Each structure stands twice: as C-alpha cells, then as structure tokens.
Amino acid sequence: MHTLTEFPRQRLPELLRTMPKAELHVHIEGTLEPELIFALAQRNGVTLPYDSVQALRTAYAFTDLQSFLDIYYAGASVLLHEQDFHDMAMAYFHRAAADHIVHAELFFDPQTHTARGISIETVIHGLKRGCDTARDELGISSALILCFLRHLSEVDAFQTLEQALPHREHFIGIGLDSSERGNPPEKFARVFARCRELGLRIVAHAGEEGPASYIRDALDLLGVERIDHGVRCVEDPQLVERLVRERIPLTVCPLSNIKLRVFDTMADHNVMTLLEAGLCVTVNSDDPAYFGGYLNQNFLEMFGALPTLDARHAVELAKNSFDASFVSDDQKTRWHAALADTVAQLKQGPVS
C-alpha cells in the first residue's frame, strides 16, 4: 500500500465511501430516526411529547451528554415488542450496507428497556433476529455487546447480567456506557470481574467527558480490550505509550465529539494526533440518528475538515476497524484483502 502516497486526492471521498469497513461503536438505540420513532409509536399506541417528526428532530439540540441522554431515553419508549427491536436493527443495517460496512458490533442497553417492563428476552431476541436477517439478506456480519448503564448501580448491573445469561449465546461482550461524570470505572469492578470469568469480551466508554484516568482505570480495574472514545488519553503521555504498546484500540466517534462539545469544531479534533502517536484508532458513528451522520458521514466530515488526512490514513483506519473487531484472524485477513482490492480498483477508475 506504499503507493497510496500517489493516490489522487479527488478520489479520496470515493475511497472513504466505498472502502469496506467495520463499525465497533454504535448504540443501536441511538440509530432510532424520528421517522421510525413515530412509526413505532403509532404501531404501539405510544403518545409522544412531540407533534411531528420535525418537532422531534428540532429537539435534537444538546448542550452536553446528559441533555442528549434525556431525549435518547425518551425515544426508546416506543420499543415494546421483539419486532420493534428487529425493525430498529434492520433500519441501521440497511444504512450500514449503503456505507459499505461489512461488520458491525452493536451496543445495546437492556436496562433502558427492562426499567420500562420490557423483558430482556424481548430485547435480545429481537436484535439477534435483526442480526440474522442482515447476514442473510445484506451479507453483513454482526455481534451484540450488552452495555451496563453507569449512572445506575453495580447491583443493578449484576441483576441485568443474571437476567441476560440464559441468552448468553446471543451476545459476545459487555460494555459500559451512559454518563461518565461521577461514575468512574471502579464502580463496576466486581461485575466486570464476573464477566471476564464468563469469557465475555470487555469494552468500556472512557476518556470522552471523563478524564484520562478513567481510561487507565478501565484497563486496570475492568480489564477492557477496547476503549470506547478515549480521545482524552493525550492528557497522559505515559497512558498513550501504554495504549500503543498494548495495541488497545480506541473507537473514536468524530461527529459525536463535536455534537457533545468534546471539541468545538471538527477542525479541532485530535484524531491526527492520535494517529501520529501510533494508536489503533477506529472511526465510528456512536448514536448516528442524534449526532448528525452515519459512518461514512463521519469519515467525510472528518477528512474534509482535516486536510492532512489522506488515503493512507483512510486505509489505516479501515484496517484498524478490522483488527480491533472481535472476529477470527482468518476473517480479518479476508477483509484486508477486500480493502486492498477496493484501493487498487479506485486507482484505475470509479468503484460502483
């Protein structure tokens, strides 16, 4: 891929759009578009505090993570039946296919639903059915990662884990999301120890609104294999060195970072600093219905705002997304080959 230095700049947007890629940080509840929220509300007889799709979209004006979470949980109120979770997943997968995503590892928040009286079986089976449909109809592989809500107690997390274990074959890992501030990783050290005993893959949000120390604690106290977000690692040079040395991936979400004021503008984003440090950075959409774009939009806006990013970085980010995924080495090798084919074709002419 050394010839990427000669890759035509005008072809870069097409490369970003058409290269195969994996998405490793997407909250399936955060893919609920206003149109689907209204459709599900009508189907399920749920009354919303908004009189139109546009009124709901207008409400997507956040000042911080908490103001986003408030409306995020309100949107989830329309999810009542297994078919709702299937339909939500499939709406995302159709967008993923359009973005040339070949693999997605979906976060889901069962506590958001069990607190409303929805069984965890309904949630998991609906999402798993969506994953199966996406595999059969769209050729997208996927996996589910169950996330604990960190603003709730560890006792609640333990209860959620026990409820989920009868359906263990349908999810591959455990994550930690929701409000970082005031909810350090150490709060969940015991439940994550139990998850590791069960052989579950371990990830956690850290270093977005929370400090760099939360990243270190997620590594040491939770045993995470991937850091979700992690952009504040640069505040601790020794931590950066460790992340590079241990090849701990960061699932960075550019549009989310701007929407939630982690950075003022995309031009201020530190992704180039992270890449130059040798970190295994991946690009993801987080909660795309709320944050202004799915995966390709994140790539296009980030590369548009940061002109030092070029085709070499695009390919590196795509490779990282495969390497950081929880799939077999053989599958990663196949995706690397598909990426090389796309680059070779693009250098000769347009890719369909």
DSSP state of 277: T
Q: Which of 208, 209, 225, 276 is catalytic?
A: 208
Question: Widest CA span of the chain, in angstroms?
Answer: 57
**Cβ neighbour number for residue 139 with a 10 Å cutoff:** 9
Would you call 208 a catalytic residue per the annotation? yes
CA–CA gap between residue 233 and residue 247 (Å, rounded): 14
What dihedral do alpha carbons 95, 99, 105, 110 form, nearest 10°? Answer: -20
CB burial of 181-220 (b: ≥16 within 10 Å; e: otherwise) equals: eebbbebbeebbeebeeeebbbbbbbbbbbbbbbbbbbbe
The pair of three-digit structure tokens given for residue 84, joined into one six-digit string: 């709702």
Rounded Cα gap, residues 18 and 311, in angstroms = 12
How would you label 12-44 residue by residue, b for 16+ Cβ within 10 Å and e otherwise?
A: beebbbbbbbbbbbbbbbbbbbbebbbbbbeee
**Burial grade of 56 (CB within 10 A; 0-12, 13-18, 19 or more):** buried
User: Cα 195 from chain centroid?
Assistant: 20
Gap between the Cα atoms of 300 and 92, Å rounded: 19
Catalytic positions are: 208
